């Protein structure tokens, strides 16, 4: 592993990215709504996404974020980290933040991490997320 030093003294512990077709998430939502949405997203995420005129890009980019964060942890979605362990929330300036549940916080601490940074983007057809775990 390469040791990248940051200006604030921290270092990068893990990096993850994900790119997903929004239509794939739309189909999963329409065909298996309760099972898919309820298994993947927290109540707060469901409320936020469902309040949008077209919720599918918002669900898709959050799905991509969960995948990217799980890849940055190098565990993927597993016994160490489940879908709802990772929640995308909005900051004061509408910027995305990652909120971890206790499983996620424990894993972050075990890795020596202090913070998970996330960048989200989507077009009309694709959603992308990039996650970095910082010590």
DSSP 111: T
Phi then psi for 99, rounded to 5 degrees? -110, 130
Give the CA distances from residue 126 to residues 10, 23, 33, 37, in Å, rounded to whole numbers and listed in that order: 32, 8, 20, 19
Mean pLDDT, all residues of the chain = 93
Q: Which CATH architecture has domain 12-134?
A: Alpha-Beta Complex (3.90)
Q: How far apart are CA 85 and CA 70, in angstroms?
A: 10
pLDDT tens per residue, range 30-89: 998 778 999 999 999 999 999 999 999 999 999 999 999 999 999 999 889 999 999 999
- The CA distance from 84 to 61, in Å, is 15
pLDDT given at position 32: 87
């Amino acid at each position: 592993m390469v040791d990248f030093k940051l200006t604030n003294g921290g270092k990068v512990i893990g990096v993850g990215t994900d790119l997903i077709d929004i239509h794939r998430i739309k189909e999963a939502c329409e065909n298996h709504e309760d099972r898919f949405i309820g298994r993947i997203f927290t109540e707060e995420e469901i409320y936020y996404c469902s309040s949008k005129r077209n919720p599918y890009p918002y669900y898709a980019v959050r799905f991509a974020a969960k995948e990217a964060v799980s890849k940055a942890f190098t565990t993927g979605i597993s016994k160490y980290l489940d879908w709802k362990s990772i929640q995308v929330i909005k900051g004061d300036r509408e910027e995305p933040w990652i909120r971890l549940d206790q499983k996620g916080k424990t894993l972050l601490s075990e890795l020596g991490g202090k913070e998970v940074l996330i960048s989200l983007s989507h077009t009309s057809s694709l959603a992308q997320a990039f996650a970095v775990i910082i010590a």
